[in-house]
């Protein structure tokens, strides 16, 4: 591949911007650097059948909506998005050869699949394949301990992260964009979770920034809808995390609490970079000796939201219905699966990965390992969330439960959190017959807690022997 000079030079430079998880033109270093370097750009998206198969319906629909949005953004430059189907290892070099591109610019990703794919392409294209880190605030390797690795404890990582200035990268320059749409955009067959495209994402950020001051005290309550719901925008890259930090800032406690969540996001990404097996193996390897129950009927009840614990069922039904779930509820349902039902965390990780519109291997596996107590800086295994206390604390009036478990709509707090303790007249007045209209709890929490603590203790003991 011939390397071109930049715009001031004598050679016309053609570049490909290969969009992956950065479906935006604003604050996108891969796009900005290509627009600065090249006279003409091909904006390419490769629909990889392996990735499409892995994505559930929510993520596929949201992806298509964002591709349409990206195409709209590119029309402002007089061009279109080229969509090609197949393996990137074949298509990217082929498009580069056809259009005579001397530069392929992309944003790097931390997943093992993406790294493997990108290293194959690097082998083929050499220095003409340039990567940026526009989808994290700080790239892997920027926040290391004195021993040169990513801290396994979050607080020192966050302290170091906070001291770093925001990264800088090139600004967008005017550039011509090709009109070839390749195999064309897939049609949108159902409504996406959120309106597609970076403009809609920017509106969501703006709307959140007006209420960000209250994030700290309201974020734990799923019924309040007080979090940003920007996770899918970060997942698809319709927003850059750098933009979020710059827009929200840390001037109030609520804003600082929000930015801290983005530190968690970077942390899990850095950990996956360093530990590519994060999604498959427990970081605390001795805990891979746990003798899981993995009961098929329990797993089905959890997935379908009929465990008999209303807060858990509300969360699982929200996930199945919308493709998204509030963080507090994600923690509660994950803990219920692993620690009440004694099911291997990987079963839950896979289910989430399929259904979540924001599914992201680093965030998903990192959080599952955190909840399961198998990961870095995780909840100690003997700390088992009580699904009823979680419900009473974070959904005190049962508003969230009623939104997703309508058969309990007529039951008042406090009984809505544990309908099996409700007086018969409360159940009758609410039209609930336990075991018929709503299930009995599938497990007794106190029994489950001690079973789990024993199973974890035994796994740890085996290693110590």
Ligand X SMILES: Cc1cc2nc3c(=O)[nH]c(=O)nc-3n(C[C@H](O)[C@H](O)[C@H](O)COP(=O)(O)OP(=O)(O)OC[C@H]3O[C@@H](n4cnc5c(N)ncnc54)[C@H](O)[C@@H]3O)c2cc1C
Angstrom distance (rounded) from CA 386 to CA 333: 11
Q: Which is it for the CA torsion 37, 63, 51, 282, positive or negative? A: positive
Residue 227 makes contact with ligand X by CB under 6 A: yes
Residue 368 makes contact with ligand X by CB under 6 A: yes
Q: What is the dihedral of CA 244, 249, 254, 256, to 10 degrees?
A: 100
Residues forming beta bridges with residue 131, ordered by sequence position: 106
Angstrom distance (rounded) from CA 237 to CA 23: 5
Nearer to ligand X, 42 or 227 (CB): 227
Angstrom distance (rounded) from CA 148 to CA 298: 43
Residue 86: CB minimum distance to ligand X, A: 26
Residue 378 makes contact with ligand X by CB under 6 A: no
Q: Which is it for the CA torsion 405, 409, 415, 417, positive or negative? A: positive
Binding part of the chain for ligand X, among 29-37, 44-52, 74-82, 322-330 by CB under 6 A, reads 322-330
Residue 150 makes contact with ligand X by CB under 6 A: no
Residue 33 makes contact with ligand X by CB under 6 A: no
Residue 446: CB minimum distance to ligand X, A: 23
Residue 46: CB minimum distance to ligand X, A: 22
Residue 360 makes contact with ligand X by CB under 6 A: yes
Nearer to ligand X, 182 or 323 (CB): 323
Residue 205 makes contact with ligand X by CB under 6 A: no
Residue 138 makes contact with ligand X by CB under 6 A: no
The backbone torsions φ and ψ at residue 45, rounded to the nearest 5 degrees and listed phi first, read -130, 130
Residue from the set 105, 111, 243, 363 that interacts with ligand X by CB under 6 A: 363
Q: Which of residues 247-286 bind ligand X (CB under 6 A)?
A: 261-262, 264-265, 268
- Verify cis geometry, omega within 30 degrees of 0, for the bond prior to 274: no
Count of residues interacting with ligand X (CB under 6 A): 28
Neighbours of 440 (CB within 10 A): 10
Alpha carbon 294 to chain centroid, angstroms: 25
Nearer to ligand X, 93 or 323 (CB): 323
Residues forming beta bridges with residue 201, ordered by sequence position: none
Residue 364 makes contact with ligand X by CB under 6 A: yes
Residue 352 makes contact with ligand X by CB under 6 A: yes
Angstrom distance (rounded) from CA 285 to CA 282: 5
Q: Which residues bind ligand X (CB under 6 A)?
A: 219, 227-231, 234-235, 261-262, 264-265, 268, 326-327, 330-331, 334, 352, 356, 358-360, 363-364, 367-368, 371
């Amino acid at each position: 591949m011939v390397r071109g000079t930049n715009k001031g030079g004598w050679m016309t430079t053609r570049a490909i911007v290969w969009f992956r998880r950065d479906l935006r033109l604003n604050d996108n270093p891969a796009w900005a650097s290509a627009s600065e370097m090249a006279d003409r750009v091909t904006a390419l998206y490769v629909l990889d059948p392996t990735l499409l198969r892995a994505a559930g319906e929510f993520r596929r629909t949201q992806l298509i909506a964002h591709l349409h949005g990206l195409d709209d953004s590119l029309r402002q430059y007089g061009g279109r998005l080229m969509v090609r189907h197949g393996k990137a290892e074949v298509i990217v070099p082929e498009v580069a050869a056809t259009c005579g591109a001397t530069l392929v610019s992309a944003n790097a990703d931390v997943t093992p699949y993406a790294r493997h794919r990108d290293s194959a392409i690097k082998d083929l294209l050499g220095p003409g394949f340039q990567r940026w880190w526009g989808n994290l605030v700080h790239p892997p390797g920027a926040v290391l301990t004195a021993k040169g690795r990513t801290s396994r404890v979050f607080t020192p990582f966050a302290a170091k992260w906070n001291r770093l200035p925001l990264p800088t990268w090139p600004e967008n320059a005017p550039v011509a964009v090709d009109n070839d749409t390749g195999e064309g955009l897939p049609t949108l067959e159902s409504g996406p979770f959120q309106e597609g495209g970076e403009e809609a994402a920017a509106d969501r950020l703006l709307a959140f920034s007006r209420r960000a001051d209250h994030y700290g005290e309201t974020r734990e309550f799923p019924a309040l809808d007080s979090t940003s719901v920007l996770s899918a925008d970060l997942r698809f890259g319709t927003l850059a995390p750098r933009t979020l930090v710059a827009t929200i800032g840390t001037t109030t406690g609520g804003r600082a609490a929000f930015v801290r969540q983005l530190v968690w996001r970077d942390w899990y990404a850095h950990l996956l970079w360093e530990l590519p097996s994060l999604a498959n193996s427990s970081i605390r390897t001795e805990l891979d000796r746990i003798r899981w129950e993995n009961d098929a009927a329990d797993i089905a009840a959890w997935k379908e939201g009929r465990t008999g614990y209303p807060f858990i069922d509300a969360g699982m039904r929200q996930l199945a219905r919308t493709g998204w779930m509030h963080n507090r509820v994600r923690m509660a349902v994950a803990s219920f699966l692993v620690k009440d039902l004694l099911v291997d965390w990987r079963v839950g990780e896979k289910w989430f990965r399929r259904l979540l519109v924001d599914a992201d291997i680093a965030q998903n596996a990192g959080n599952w390992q955190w909840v399961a107590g198998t990961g870095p800086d995780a909840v100690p295994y003997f700390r088992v969330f009580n699904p009823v206390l979680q419900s009473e604390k974070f959904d005190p009036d049962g508003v969230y439960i009623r939104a997703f478990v309508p058969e309990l709509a007529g039951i008042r707090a406090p009984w809505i959190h544990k309908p099996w303790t409700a007086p018969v007249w409360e159940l009758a007045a609410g039209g609930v017959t336990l075991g018929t209209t709503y299930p009995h709890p599938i497990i007794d929490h106190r029994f489950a807690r001690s079973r789990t603590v024993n199973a974890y203790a035994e796994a740890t003991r085996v290693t110590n022997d």
